[in-house]
Amino acid sequence: MKNESENPDNLMRHRRIILNDGRYMIFYTFDESLSDEAASEEKPAPRLQTEAIEEKNV
Amino acid sequence: MSELRFNPLLGEWVATATQRQDRTFLPPPDFCPLCPTRKGGFPTEVPESTYDIVAFENRFPSLKKEPDAPAVEATELYPVRLSQGVCEVIIYSPNHNTTLAREPVEQIYKLILVWRHRFEELGELDFVKYVFVFENKGEAVGVTLHHPHGQIYAYPFVPPVIKKELEQSRKYREEKGVCLLCDILDAEKRFEKRIVAENQSFVAIIPFYARYPFETHILPKRHLQAFTDFSAREERDLAEILKQILSAFDALFNVSFPYIMAIHQRPSDGENYDFYHFHIEFYPPMRTAAKLKYLAGSEAGAGMFINDTLPETKAAELRTLIKPVIWKG
């Protein structure tokens, strides 16, 4: 099951899983072009998209 | 067992967390619990390897969302409360053999975006009054896992150091009508000798009142209270100045420089803290290549730090090691 939604305009994503003991873990991934955006002083910083929750037995 | 016990003599809470006695202590690199789980390898705490940065609840927390029942009864003399809060670990990279200082500025920028997100999300929890982002780096400050990581404690109260800063900042604003750290920033810019690095949005100084030889503070030029107030430009500029300071630290004695990094932001209790000023403080224990600064009698027992050096001298040393930052883009 993959609940992560795609948003081509967004350079950052995060995905939350629930571990067996009930703790959450959030994986943050960034598009490669983030560096270009960050290096450009004119562009606004990207914002995180709404998270999706994925249950997982870990 | 864990609870918060009140110290009536100091007016401060102390957390007990007996389960932390069993936490992993300096494992060999092949058995690092913060590395991603590899195919055929032992299962670590991180079951996946495709990520830039990971945040998760600490396996050995001192504060929990659903805390244990206290081990003792509260009395009028000794208040006790649930140790409700959140303790997170933030893994900076899947790579075990790196540090924040060695990471490219792009990775530090990503971390700032994650810090902002964690500050926002944890600060929205109704039982959280303060979100504290920090890093303990190096065995000299008590690190038990070498994989590059920081931590976040979401406290159910405003912790005492922040409380004291808030009180001083509020008092100064009431008396002078301006922000204390804005005035400190102006004074340091006029004096110049304690400035280590500067860019369009931030200044790094070894402050007039430094307690450690290389205690470095990073202050935004704009009067900001939290990551959520930052502009895009300020997020980039913070990444740059962090990269410069961390790299200069490592170059001081040609070692991976130990430090405590403390990020001081406004509380998350819904009150107005417009008199407060965001800043980052580094407390490095090394005073020379072979000597550490310990918290001894005066520091630990009386609260008065003794700095064996002059901030002006140490700022000059660190300033010579500041290098330009280059973005890949």
**Is A56's pLDDT higher than 90?**
no
Tens-digit pLDDT profile for residues B101-158: 999 999 999 999 999 999 999 999 999 999 999 999 998 988 888 899 999 999 999 9
Cross-chain Cβ contact B329/A23 below 8 Å: no
Token duo for residue B108 = 């530090």
> Which of chain B's residues have a Cβ under 8 Å away from the Cβ of A19?
47, 56
From residue B291, how far is each of B213, B288, B304 by CA, in Å? 11, 5, 20
pLDDT at B48: 87
d(CA B244, CA B318): 10
CB contact under 8 A, A27 and B114: no
| Mean per-residue pLDDT, A19-45 | 78
CB B118 within 8 A of CB B152: yes
Residue A58: its pLDDT value, please? Answer: 53
B112 interfacial to chain A (CB closer than 8 Å): no
Average pLDDT of the residues of chain B: 94
Contact (Cβ atoms closer than 8 angstroms) between residue B90 and residue B111: yes
- Best probe of the B interface among A20, A21, A26, by most B CBs < 10 A, is A26
Q: What is the mean pLDDT of residues B218-228?
A: 98
pLDDT tens profile B157-205: 999 999 999 999 999 999 999 999 999 999 999 999 999 999 999 999 9
Q: Which residue has the higher pLDDT, B89 or A37?
A: B89
**Rounded to whole angstroms, how far apart are CA atoms B208 and B288?**
20
- Determine the residue of chain A that is closest to B239 in CA distance: A38
Q: Are strands B86-91 and B216-220 parallel, antiparallel or unpaired?
A: unpaired
Average pLDDT for B260-284: 98
| B65 lies within 8 A of chain A by CB | no
State the pTM of this model.
0.92
Is 70 exceeded by the pLDDT of residue A44? no
Residue that the structure tokens 């860019």 belong to: B199
**Residue B264 has which token pair?**
């001081």
Does A48 touch chain B if contact means CB atoms closer than 8 Å?
Answer: yes
Asked if residue A2 has pLDDT above 50, the reply is no
The CA distance from B164 to A40, in Å, is: 39
CB pairs under 8 A between A and B: 75
**B121 half-sphere exposure, CB direction, 13 A CA radius:** 19
Nearest Cα to B180, choosing from B135, B219, B228, B151? Answer: B219
pLDDT score at B148: 95
Q: Smallest Cα–Cα separation from B212: which of B292, B101, B322?
A: B292
Q: Is residue A5 predicted with pLDDT exceeding 50?
A: no
Residue B6 pLDDT greater than 80, yes or no: yes
Give per-residue pLDDT as tens, B35-78: 998 888 888 989 988 899 999 999 999 999 999 899 999 999 99
Query: Could you give the percent of chain B with pLDDT greater than 90?
Result: 84
| Mean pLDDT calculated for residue range B74-95 | 96
A42 pLDDT higher than 60: no
Residue of B nearest to A30 (CA): B52
Residue A57 has pLDDT above 70, yes or no: no
Q: What is the mean pLDDT of residues B221-247?
A: 97
pLDDT 10s digits, B290-311 = 999 888 899 999 999 999 999 9
Chain B residue with CA closest to A58: the answer is B47
Nearest-angstrom CA–CA distance, B188 and B203: 9
- Which residues on neighbouring strands pair with residue B154, listed in sequence order? B86, B131
Contacts of B117 in chain A (CB under 8 A): 14, 28, 48
For range A33-38, the mean pLDDT: 68
Examine the pLDDT at B87 and tell me if it is beyond 50.
Answer: yes
How far apart (Å, rounded) are the C-alpha atoms in residues A51 and A25? 12
Q: Active-site positions of B?
A: 149
Number of Cβ atoms within 10 Å of the Cβ of B324: 7
- Token digits for B234? 């300020």
Look-up of token digits 């994503």: A13
Q: Do A35 and B233 touch (CB under 8 A)?
A: no
Q: Average pLDDT, stretch B270-296?
A: 94
Judged by CB atoms closer than 8 Å, whether chains meet at A26 and B233 is answered as no
B308 vs B305: CA distance, rounded Å: 10
Residue A12 has pLDDT above 50, yes or no: yes
* B222 secondary structure, DSSP code: S
Chain B, 67 to 96: residues with Cβ < 8 Å from chain A are none
How many CA within 13 A on the CB side of residue B271?
Answer: 14
Q: Which residue has the tokens 């200044």?
A: B203
**CA-based nearest residue to A47, from B264, B78, B231:** B231
Report chain B's C-alpha Rg in angstroms.
20
* Residue A3 predicted with pLDDT over 60: no
pLDDT of residue A6: 36
A27 interaction partners in chain B (CB closer than 8 Å): 48, 50-51, 54
**Mean pLDDT for the stretch of residues B245-266:** 97
